[in-house]
Amino acid sequence: MLYRSTNHQSPLVNFREATLKGQPDDKGLYFPDKIPVLAEDFIENIIDLSEEEIAYEIIAPYVKGAIPAPDLARILVDVVNFKIPVTQVSKTISALELYHGPSLTFKDMGATFMRLCLEYFLQQQDKRTIVLEVTSGDGGAAIAKAFYDMDGVEVVILYPAGKINMVQEKQITSLGNNIHAIEVEGTIEDCKAIAKQIFEDAALQEKFNFTSASSSNVARWIPLQFYYFFAYKQWIDKVEPPAIAVPCGNLGNLSAGLLAYKSGLPISHFIAACNVNDVFPEFLRTGNYQPKKIIPTISNALDIGEPINLPRVIEIFNADINEIKKVITGYSITDAETKKAIRLVYERNGYLLDPHGAVAYVAMQKYLHENPDQKGVVLKTAHPVKFFEVVEPVIDEPGPMPSSVELELEKKKIYRKMNVDANVLKEFIFSL
Ligand SMILES: *Cc1c(COP(=O)(O)O)cnc(C)c1O
């Protein structure tokens, strides 16, 4: 499989190069040159396959030429190693629980796969690799957990001081070793601006390999397809495929689901669930992409004004906006609606949603109201404990606290404080 750039100005590369480089030089995103089509009997017989077998079948064509079959099979054993159940919440809505991995969000699957690919590709590399990541919380936590203790890889995570919540912060700052947590006295935009300067620094580029571990990296993006297939396997009502609601920020999760759909996974409809940061629903409505300033909300992983994976969504449908509209409906959900859903679903169904799952839940309710013959699966992207500051006042009682999180909260914070100054960060990275 070869990957081209969504900006069409960079040469084709294989999976190895795309993973190590992260982003093509023309600032587009790597995209599979041909989307694989699954054999029909694969879907028909999916019920008889293990999760590992499903994952293998999906990803093998994407890594062809870069990872030989036995090595890929070995890698997948460590990727598909936590449960991903579909739980019935109400009569028409189920939840696909993606939060049983190490950092308690869906991001663990992609982060773990990327770590194992990097480890595999870097075996004969003498230069060290720097993974530089700007995070509003969950992405940094997933990468910290997944990349901890890697040989030859230093992970530098920038986060805005006071803007991430307690569990996220502890997951990023309690590890140490090759995980370097940098608390920046500024906003997420300041963090991004510093990172950009680092990526453009010739001397640093000379000394290290740099890569990005955000969902722009194919090794983190492509494996997100797996759980859409796992959901389908558990979908008993096979007469009609489910509608799927995805809480959307940078559109990595949604675009991976669309890739699965293009390959032949039966899904009746996609619901793009956004909070009031509604760039994508607006794009669906008008056909125009208009970046916006971020409005802070309680579902802060969705507080995105320039969704980085939008070009992939467009590419999957060959830029046919009418086709995109046929497959995806977008909704923009307010904080008040989100809180109300957390409270009501807890009271009536005994099920606790995190704010992101709640945004998807409300969007699904709206969609089902307009399409009463359908049934839906909501992607529950985070464990509620990651957002207990939001959830507990809403339900007016303490939420569940896994013992692993309790232990983590007691750990010492290992981090560096920095002002918004790229030169200080440059010096620090040079010293690694
Ligand atoms: C990152 C994140 C999202 C958004 O996913 P994208 O792929 O950026 O659209 C949704 N929910 C949670 C909990 C997240 O951490």
Write the DSSP assignment of 11-73 as a string of letters: --B-HHHHHHH-S-TTS--EEESS-----HHHHHTGGGS-HHHHHHHHHHHHHTTTS-HHHHH
Return d(Cα 347, Cα 351) in angstroms, integer.
8
Alpha-carbon distance values, 73 to 68, 70, 118, 359, 384 (Å):
9, 5, 15, 36, 32
Rounded to the nearest 5°, which phi and psi values hold at 111? -65, -40
Contacts (Cβ under 8 Å, ≥6 apart) of 286: none
- CA–centroid distance, residue 105 to ligand 1 (Å): 8
What element of type H or E holds 260?
helix 252-263
The model's pLDDT over 245-260, given as tens digits with 9 standing for 90+, comes to 999 999 999 999 999 9
Task: Look at residue 339 and tell me whether its pLDDT is greater than 70.
Answer: yes
Task: Look at residue 9 and tell me whether its pLDDT is greater than 70.
Answer: yes
Place of tokens 């794009």: 283
Q: Which mutation among 105, 136, 143, 309 tests ligand 1's pocket best, with the greatest number of atoms within 8 A of CB?
A: 105
The model's pLDDT over 163-188, given as tens digits with 9 standing for 90+, comes to 999 999 999 999 999 999 999 999 99
The model's pLDDT over 391-427, given as tens digits with 9 standing for 90+, comes to 999 999 999 999 999 999 999 999 999 999 999 999 9
Q: According to the model, what pLDDT value does residue 317 have?
A: 97
Task: Look at residue 236 and tell me whether its pLDDT is greater than 90.
Answer: no
Q: Which mutation among 164, 172, 250, 303 tests ligand 1's pocket best, with the greatest number of atoms within 8 A of CB?
A: 250
Contacts (Cβ under 8 Å, ≥6 apart) of 281: 272, 274, 330, 331, 332
Q: Beta-strand (E) ranges in 207-293?
A: 209-211, 243-247, 269-274
Q: According to the model, what pLDDT value does residue 26 have?
A: 95
The model's pLDDT over 33-82, given as tens digits with 9 standing for 90+, comes to 999 999 989 999 999 999 999 999 999 999 999 999 999 999 999 999 99
Return d(Cα 131, Cα 147) in angstroms, integer.
9
Q: According to the model, what pLDDT value does residue 40 have?
A: 87
CA-nearest residue for atom 7, ligand 1, is 252
Return d(Cα 24, Cα 36) in angstroms, integer.
22
CA-nearest residue for atom 11, ligand 1, is 381
SS3 state at 247: strand
Task: Look at residue 124 and tell me whether its pLDDT is greater than 90.
Answer: no
Alpha-carbon distance values, 199 to 95, 136, 163, 211 (Å):
39, 19, 24, 9
Task: Look at residue 160 and tell me whether its pLDDT is greater than 90.
Answer: yes
Task: Look at residue 238 and tell me whether its pLDDT is greater than 70.
Answer: no
Q: Are 225 and 260 in contact (CB under 8 A)?
A: yes
Q: According to the model, what pLDDT value does residue 127 have?
A: 86
What residues are in contact with ligand 1 under a 6 Å CB criterion? 105, 107, 138, 215, 247-254, 301-302, 356, 381-382
Return d(Cα 155, Cα 178) in angstroms, integer.
6
Contacts (Cβ under 8 Å, ≥6 apart) of 364: 93, 243, 245, 271, 273, 376, 378
The model's pLDDT over 361-392, given as tens digits with 9 standing for 90+, comes to 999 999 999 999 999 999 999 999 999 999 99
| DSSP tag of 94 | E
The size of the chain, in residues, is 432
Looking at per-residue pLDDT, the higher value among 146 and 136 belongs to 146
Q: Are 63 and 116 in contact (CB under 8 A)?
A: no
The model's pLDDT over 138-156, given as tens digits with 9 standing for 90+, comes to 999 999 999 999 999 999 9
The mean pLDDT value for 209-220 works out to 93
% of the chain beyond a pLDDT of 70? 99
The model's pLDDT over 275-313, given as tens digits with 9 standing for 90+, comes to 999 999 999 999 999 999 999 999 999 999 999 999 999
The model's pLDDT over 48-61, given as tens digits with 9 standing for 90+, comes to 999 999 999 999 99
Task: Look at residue 237 and tell me whether its pLDDT is greater than 70.
Answer: no
Q: According to the model, what pLDDT value does residue 228 have?
A: 98
Return d(Cα 164, Cα 301) in angstroms, integer.
10
Q: Which mutation among 253, 298, 303, 338 tests ligand 1's pocket best, with the greatest number of atoms within 8 A of CB?
A: 253
Q: According to the model, what pLDDT value does residue 239 have?
A: 74
Task: Look at residue 125 and tell me whether its pLDDT is greater than 90.
Answer: no
Interhelix angle 422-430/188-199, rounded to 10 degrees, is 50
3-state percent breakdown (helix, strand, coil) of the chain, nearest 5: 45, 15, 40
The confidence band for 126, taking pLDDT boundaries of 50, 70 and 90, is: confident
